[in-house]
Structure 1
Amino acid sequence: MKVIKYPQKSEWSKILARPAFDTSSLNATVSSILAEIKSGGDKAVISYEEKFDKVQLSSLSVSEKEIEDSDKLLSEELKSAIRTAKDNIEKFHTAQKFEPKKIETTAGVVCWQKAVGIEKVGLYVPGGTAPLFSTVLMLAVPAKIAGCREIVLCTPPDKDGNVNPAILYAAKVAGVNKIFKIGGVQAIGAMAYGTESVPKVYKIFGPGNQYVVAAKQLVSLKEVAIDMPAGPSEVQVIADETANPAFIASDLLSQAEHGVDSQVILTTTNENIIQSVVTEIEKQLAELPRKEIAEKALQHSIAILLDNEEELIELTNEYAPEHLIIETKNYIDFVDKIINAGSVFLGHYTPESAGDYASGTNHTLPTNGHAKAYSGVNLDSFVKKITFQEISKEGIKNLGSTIEIMAENELLFAHKNAVTLRLK
């Protein structure tokens, strides 16, 4: 971990730059695969599954028997944990339900909104170096609450053609309608265009590698909506002298083990805490099964020593981290000052892992600075709002002349006439 002391504000943007990788040939490759999926359907998907996931499939669908058998392949302990997480996620997202109100804007003119679940949604769940069954819950649970009629899930199978049983069990618990053994770009293409087996959906959700991210962005230009722009995972920790270095190190490492392109940042006004955390990182890193991945992520991660709390807040809002952990004695004072972050974890006993799994908040969050303009996935992500208006005879008399004047001055006389005829 690189240590930077008291950087000038003019240097911040350079210091906070995310890891950059050469993606010059990526879009061309992804576009080519998507074109083949669009024209070739199931046959093209099966061919790419053999090429990329090294598996020969006769069917892309996960059978009912496979879903039911997942129950027997998991420990009661894990199944109980999945159900607890599902319940908490459900409670938090149910509380986000939209309450419609009818508003009389002018006497006789009534307007209101109705929230409607997006009919068909597609969920992508990575299953490569880590089978993210928690992502199933984060996406399927709010989709179900929102009233989405068809919830389609794609996830890569192993070389024997099996989907991780924890992913299947989480999907069953959360109410997913259809599950397919498809990974990577071909999964995004299948859900965007539809194939003989996979229904075309209206919006695609879920994380993935650079190829998956590129595929989502490309299909969003014409075919479907997507949840948000996404990139490698990241965390920033704000710490003071009251923070536990072991806690901080574990928080940084929990993000670093996601992937070699993850970024972790420690920010503080206390120089002593930096060295203590670096020592703890070395100690904990040695014990991690995913040590090599975390080590590579740490190569482009930094600890930044700043002058005061105001700089801490300003730098944080400039960085706009996906995850922000505040381990200080006055952490609650930061709440109103943080305006750019995906999800915030307050105090010494709130690890980022809690949000990843079971506290109830969603872990599908904006990365790469997109927290300046995007929210993480929430119930609203799965709904669309339709506006209604009802105007009475009295209402058109009260508002009519205003509409006529505006329409005439925009030179849209048919618009004016639609009101004038009613007034007469």
Structure 2
Amino acid sequence: MPVPRRAALAAAALLTVSLATGCGKPEITVLDTAAKVHLTFWTGQSDDAQSLLEELAGEFERQHPNVSIDLSPGASSTEELLQKLAASFAANDSPDISYTFGSWASQLERSGRTLDITDEVAEPDVHWEEFTQAARETARPTGRRTIGFPAVVDNISLFYNTTVFDRAGVAYPTPDWTWDDFRAAARELTDPANQTYGYAYSVSGSEETTWQLWPHLWQNGGEVLDGSGKRSAFASPAGVEALSFLRAMAVDDRSVYLDQTDTKFAQLFASDRVAMMTSGPWELSALKTAGTSYGVVQLPGTDGNHETVSGPDLWTLFDNHDVNRAYWATQFTRWLTSPEQDEKFNVAVGNLPLRSSEATSEAFLAQARELPGLDVMQANAANAKHSRPTVPGYNGLSEAVGDAVAHVLQGQGTPQAALQDAAQAADKALRQG
């Protein structure tokens, strides 16, 4: 924790499961809230985060003596949970709750094995509206079923290295920066003689490459998918203009460090060789350890739109044909994601709080003092107005877009042709699901 967003699509395996439900276990259909219940919880965590969840589960068990919760990471890595879940479906032995990447949401809903908690989250005291729009949409991937509660939320903001800015005599970014302001500063901050770059961008072709494009697309009025959700829409004039802007910085201005690894750009930022990067709260602890002098603002925008991208993950709930297990799994995750418990988990490990109501809490403000910029990212959650698609086929779409962006930023091909080719590959992936 926090899970790097670049890992979120590492598990690209298709979720192909048997929908058979018979396994010899009697189905329990009459709710008895006093009945003894044993829940299985795959946390997807390790080390400190796992320990915190164990403490919280123990607290819940003390409050509800009829409930016992068996916690484990679920797999040797979070990326392997999808395959582990598929195997559990085939064996009719699913966990009651599992951490899942948001990018899996549509596949999991399509499996037919998730609970639908739409009625539960509509209850007024759940305060569902306190979760970000992106998180709510991820938990309700098709708009028909709500398959879990948000587990982790994030967004990307603009980090700026004050040492590099001061050395170049350039004014720090402001929240109302435009694309033109951003480009001009990056050009001014670039110093080839000292191998210092104004900005950095991943050209590995991974999801890190792709999701950095989405804010530019959305700010410019574009969409990733069309209204049906079955065809790509990014190769629009808005998408071409967004990629053309990045190409101008990388190819014409030569102000962008093009990172083949997804990781080196953050290291160069920390060592005062890159002036600006767009990244998320997972960078803050490393910057503190490195002693880097930095600031954080919302992303540069266009026409007053400073939209960002978020990759929320979920505590997904699964249907084991036992109304008592379903009830208590829902009650536990509802409790776990309440402001009081979230401060003991997400806030404690340096993630963004799940809920807007936590922004002024003493626990979060104390963490923000320890990790400067965390409060800016929390406020920036309001700019996460689109959810990253979770449709089956998004993995293939992401790969096609990432490859197109990587080639264009390295001077190979034109934005329009590259995005058109990517759209053909993306549409094929979407058809195949």
TM-score interval for Structure 1 and Structure 2 normalised by the shorter chain: under 0.3
Structure of higher RCO (CA pairs closer than 8 Å, 6+ residues apart): 2
Q: Output the TM-score relative to the length of structure 1.
A: 0.25
**More strand as a share of residues:** 1
